[in-house]
Amino acid sequence: MAEKAARTGWDLKRGHDAAARWTPPPDWRDAAIIRASWSARPAHGLGQTLLSGDLGAARAALAPAAAEAGLWQVAGGDALVRVARDRALLVTARPLDAPAGWSPGGWAASPADDAWAVFELAGESARAVCAQATSADLEAGSPSAALLFAGVACLLYRIAPDIARLHVESGFAPYLWRWLETVEG
């Protein structure tokens, strides 16, 4: 009797696959959203390494030329994208061959190339699209690039004045892509 109450409470059925209701992800290789004044595309092949600890020492060891990027700041090329005071995502043109774990220099590296999906939003209305997705004041900026974007935790910065880069945990990428598809412009 207790087993039946537990199943009924959650309305679970044997053999039921909740994932069958999820929207399937697009084919990321050729996915694109093209609007009159903005566009979105997945960015492929980037290196993403999560860093903790002494970020200055980590940057010096792994990518000395990486520019630091906070919310809506421009960082062309390699970027040290701040998540928190002692945590950042090092984004490079290609995956790094950095050893995982703690370094004697006081920092730790975790390869995260597949942990986040990366979208690039470009065009004259890219800022308006980003502003629609968040309550954060993009012009005020922040040392941290972390924010809620369409209700999902993301990192947002720019690689050029009219090109924003958005990192979202890979599992939320299809949702965020579907949200972007609903935006006009």
Looking at residue 23, what is its pLDDT? 73
- Answer yes or no: is pLDDT of 21 > 90: no
User: What CATH number does residue 145 fall under?
Assistant: 3.30.1360.120
Looking at residue 185, what is its pLDDT? 75
pLDDT digits (tens, 9 = 90+) for 113-149: 999 999 999 999 999 999 999 999 999 989 999 999 9
pLDDT interval class at 33 (50, 70, 90)? very high
pLDDT digits (tens, 9 = 90+) for 164-175: 999 999 999 999
**Within-domain flag for 12:** no
Q: What is the mean pLDDT of residues 88-98?
A: 95
The total of other beta-carbon atoms located within 10 Å of residue 148's CB is 12
Looking at residue 4, what is its pLDDT? 52
pLDDT interval class at 62 (50, 70, 90)? very high
Domain hosting 32: range is 26-181
**Within-domain flag for 126:** yes
Please tell me the pTM assigned to this model.
0.88
**Within-domain flag for 135:** yes
Number of separate domains in the chain: 1
**Within-domain flag for 122:** yes
The answer to whether 82 and 69 are in contact (CB under 8 A) is yes
**Within-domain flag for 84:** yes
**Within-domain flag for 39:** yes
Give dist(CA 118, CA 41) in Å, integer: 9
52 closest CA partner among 83, 9, 75: 83
pLDDT > 90 fraction of the chain, expressed in percent and rounded: 83
Give dist(CA 152, CA 142) in Å, integer: 18
**Within-domain flag for 59:** yes
- State the Cα angle at 80 between 77 and 171, rounded to 5°: 95
**Within-domain flag for 1:** no
